[in-house]
Structure 1
Amino acid sequence: MLSYRHGFHAGNHADILKHAVLVHMLEYMTQKDKPLRIIDTHAGAGVYKLNGPQAQKNREFDTGIGPLWTLPQAPAAINRLLDLVKNLNDRGNLQIYPGSPLIAQTLMRSIDRLFLHELHPADYQFLRDAMRSDKRVKVLNEDGLTNLQALLPPLERRALVLIDPSYEIKSDYQQVIKQVISAHKRFAVGTIAIWYPVVNRLRIDEMELALKKSGIKNIQLMEFATAPDSLEHGMTASGMIVINPPWTLWAAMEETLPWLVDNLSEAGQGFYRLEQLVAEN
């Protein structure tokens, strides 16, 4: 199924949470003087024009990067993301928003390697163009979930995996958990970050339960909702489930999540979750 295009959703509240977590993890993991393998299973186009027809159709960035753009103060995790976005935009005019590939490319070092997967033919070509023949980056027109096992264990002996499918195919929820469990068996010390949308809470409950039963240790969940759960109004919340997170991530999210609720939720009706799903030991 190749109908999903992230350009229609770029810069929305879900992107803010996902990318704030990603930036924090990348900055922490690139401090160590050893190479890192970064794997993005659903990379998208890499970078998005907020003044283009896709982003302008529903203007979802008005729920995320738009209102945050001119705020004078923000938590450190949000500030770092804002710094990256501002560096892409001339003279302070918000026109460009980076996808996770461009964020990773910006923060990675010469010794790191980035593997990007995208199946949609148009977005795959945009992604190739965005990466500009960077020798550190490999762009693959392949299914990132099924190809994940072939990239683990990494030659670099360190890995950060980002899994963020559209979940338009309902079986994606089960497939993500299946592939994560297999990936963890191949490389138990890797950091795996799973993004999820809250459209039907039952599906998220099932994902959490499956991970708790998997035997995998050290799993944290961080979720931000702009409105109460609803079966009628689409995605009301999104979250990140991180296996083997950096030890600094919890404190960063303690500061960031309530701030997001205060600044991006609808009429103060939003909420957040920050939970240790499975203990480290």
Structure 2
Amino acid sequence: MNYRHAFHAGNFADLVKHATLTLLLDRLRADAAPLTVVDTHAGAGGYDLDGEMSRRTGEAAQGIFRLMEAQGAPAEFDALKAAVRAGNPKGGVRFYPGSPSLIAGGLRRGDRYVACELRDDDHALLAQTLARHPGAKAVQDDGFGVAGREAGKGGRLFVLIDPPFERADDYERIAEAMGTVLGLDPDACVAVWLPLKDLETFDAFLRRVEPAAPELLIAEARLKPLSDPMKMNGCAMVIAGGPAGLEGPLEAICGWVAGRLGETGGRAEVWSTAS
């Protein structure tokens, strides 16, 4: 999967990922303990939907544009919609916030955000995005390694993993990183975004992760049947160590995306691997 996020900003998968992200941040901030967030593949931080890469795919038209126009969307999207409105004070939807904007904007005094990005151009944009947030730092480093080094330092750790899936071993590296983080910090929360192409790839990843995280909460939004491994037919959030009570909100998020943006037969499912 050749993936640079500017091509896909604001698409259906971003709605699932970012609504889930704001939900998790809200629940984790309910704890008074300082929160450290590691974003392993942060990207540029925000995106111009009028830019060449976004216009080339047009994916935002069937994602954030639909959400912002929709009546009666679940309240779980309210935080994302508010961030979009704040980033477009003149109205419309030209600028879309990436995870760095959503995370940094909600930091409390004492919280930390480490945003990792390897690309030179995206790292420069990321640093600009985070410059006005004193608790946030953009680092040009391997995010998987950074997550492991931050584990066990104290406070509550939240790791967001959303790689570009350009490397053949990304699934293996995700599983390895989860094992390292949870081995050093069993109370950490780790949330992974995954494309859904075919069940074999998805199931193989879950089997690989199970030894390190036997209790996973999985939220799937399937917009098409998982029958073509060359296409992104949906997406999933895989969460280890999440706060209690996420099932209902995740069902609302994935259900709306699958039902409103998917093809006939699109469906959502939220389930746990806990015995």
TM-score (ref. length: structure 2): 0.95
Q: Using the alignment, how far apart are the partners of 2:274 and 2:45 within structure 1?
A: 32
> RMSD between aligned alpha carbons?
1.5
Pick one of 212, 219, 222 that aligns with 2:216: 219
Alpha-carbon distance between aligned partners in 2 of 1:99 and 1:133, rounded to the nearest angstrom: 16
CA distance in 2, matches of 1:239, 1:124: 26
Residue 147 of structure 1: aligned partner: 146
Q: Which residue of 1 aligns with 2:204?
A: 206
- Name 2:93's counterpart in structure 1: 94
Q: Does 1:8 align with 2:31?
A: no
Matched residue, 1:250: 247
* Unaligned stretches of 5+ residues in structure 2: none
Is 1:37–1:154's contact at 8 Å kept on the other side of the alignment? no
Tell me, yes or no, if the aligned pair for 1:218 and 1:245 is still in contact at 8 Å: no
Aligned ranges 1:189-204 → 2 under 5 Å: 189-204=187-202
Secondary structure class of the residue paired with 1:17: helix
TM-score by length of 1: 0.93
Quote the sequence identity (%).
28
- Taking the aligned partners of 2:129 and 2:60, their CA distance within structure 1 comes to 21
For residues 27 and 181 of structure 2, the distance between their equivalents in structure 1, rounded to whole angstroms, comes to: 22
| Secondary structure of the structure 1 residue equivalent to 2:273 | strand
Closer, same or farther: CA 10–17 of 1 in aligned 2, 3 Å: same
Aligned equivalents of 2:31, 2:255: Cα separation in 1: 30
After TM superposition, give the deviation of residue 73 of structure 1 in Å: 1.3
Q: Is the alpha carbon distance of 1:232 and 1:192 closer, same or farther for their aligned partners in structure 2, counting shifts above 3 Å? A: closer
| Structure 2 residue 259 is the aligned partner of structure 1 residue 277 | no
SS of residue paired to 2:239: strand
Of the three residues 206, 211, 232, the one matched with 1:235 is 232
Match in the other structure for 1:158:
156
For the residue of structure 1 that corresponds to 2:66, the secondary structure is: helix
Distance 1:200 1:168 in 2: 17
C-alpha separation in 2, matches of 1:138 and 1:261: 35
Moved over 4 A (4+): none
2:61 aligns with 62
Decide whether the 8 Å contact of 1:173 with 1:203 is kept in 2.
no
* CA deviation vs aligned residue, 1:60-81 (integer Å, no higher than 9, x gap): 1122111111112111211221
For structure 1, which runs of at least 5 residues remain unmatched after alignment? Answer: none
Aligned residue for 2:96, secondary structure, equals strand
Deviations 1:142-198 (A, max 9, x none): 11012221111133x201100010112121011110111111100000000011112
Tell me how far apart the structure 2 counterparts of residues 61 and 201 of structure 1 sit (CA, whole Å).
26
SS in 1 for 2:71: coil
Q: CA deviation at 1:258?
A: 1.9
